[in-house]
Structure formats: C-alpha cells, structure tokens
C-alpha cells in the first residue's frame, strides 16, 4: 500500500526536461532553426565519420556539435543576456565561419579519397552542414553590419549618457 506513488510525482521530472529543451518561441525563430539544424547535421556527420574509415575527421563534427549545442542552450535560456562581457554575436560568427570552412575541406576529402559508404554519407552531410553554417554566418554578418551602420546604438546608450553627465555624487 505504501508503494503507490502520488499522481503528481511525474511533474518535477517533466519540468526539468522542459527546462533543458529550447523554448517553442526560440525553436521556431530563424536563429533557433539554424542552430537546431547545425546541431543535428554535426551529430549525424560525427556518427558517419565515426563509422567510416575516415575516422581521423571525427574531431571536427564533434567539436562543432558541442559548440552549437552550447550556443543553442545559451540562446534558448537567455544565458547570453546574463554575461554581457562576451561578444556573443562575434563568437557565433567566428564559430560559423570556421565550421563552414573546415566542414567544406573535410567533406571534399571524405568524398574524394575514401570509398566506403559512411565516408561518402559523412561528406554529403558535411556539405549540407557547410551550407547551413555559411547561411548562419551570412545572416550574422548582415545583422552586425546593420548594427554598425546605425552607429552601434542600443537601447541602453541614452541612460548611460545621462548617468555620465549627471553631477550626482551618489556613485
């Protein structure tokens, strides 16, 4: 009789799982869809490289998978807004640029040099990942360029300027 659990005992597990997953708003946004695609393609490419004779290339998809997964978590939980010391768009831009270049190189090598099927599949998924990473860095570059054309002003700038000009000694 004491082994029967209360009907509400599954709710803490569900709330923990839902806190790990990205929010529906972020997952349906353009950045969310790109990051989910990057995570999925990097993981599939990692599995294909691990099962192929081109196992030497397994490091790149693994590192890109972990980096994209970290940024997916950071953006979906608004972790990036709490740490303003990091230049998140620049870090994301550099990750996408290096990932697209390196994925392109290892995909060409995997398709041309190795003959097994999983190496060819890893190369094809690598080419698709190259396109997704290139699209992401193109969109990030356009956002950064538009931000810099506007003079780099954000919503916080006027309040900072007023604070600097005030004669208050309360600081």
pLDDT at 171: 47
- Sign of CA pseudo-dihedral 23, 136, 141, 70: positive
What contacts 113, CB < 8 A, 6 or more positions away? 54
Q: What is the pLDDT of residues 117-152, one digit of tens each?
A: 999 999 999 999 999 999 999 999 998 888 788 876
What contacts 143, CB < 8 A, 6 or more positions away? 89
pLDDT at 77: 82
pLDDT at 122: 93
pLDDT at 159: 43
pLDDT at 16: 64
CB of 105 closer than 8 Å to CB of 28: no
Residue stretches of the chain with pLDDT short of 50? 156-164, 166, 171
């Amino acid at each position: 009789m004491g082994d029967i659990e209360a009907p509400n005992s599954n709710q803490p597990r569900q709330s923990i799982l839902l806190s790990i997953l990205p929010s529906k708003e972020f997952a349906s946004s353009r950045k969310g869809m790109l990051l989910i695609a990057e995570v999925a393609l990097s993981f599939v490419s990692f599995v294909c490289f691990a099962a192929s004779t081109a196992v030497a290339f397994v490091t790149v998809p693994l590192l890109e998978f972990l980096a994209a997964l970290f940024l997916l978590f950071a953006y979906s939980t608004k972790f990036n807004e709490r740490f303003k010391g990091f230049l998140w768009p620049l870090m994301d831009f550099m990750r996408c640029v290096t990932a697209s270049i390196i994925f392109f190189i290892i995909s060409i090598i995997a398709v041309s040099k190795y003959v097994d099927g999983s190496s060819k599949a890893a190369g094809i998924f690598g080419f698709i990942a190259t396109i997704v990473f290139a699209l992401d860095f193109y969109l990030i570059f356009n956002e950064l360029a538009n931000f810099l054309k506007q003079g780099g002003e954000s919503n916080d700038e006027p309040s900072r300027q007023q604070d600097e000009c005030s004669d208050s000694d309360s600081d």
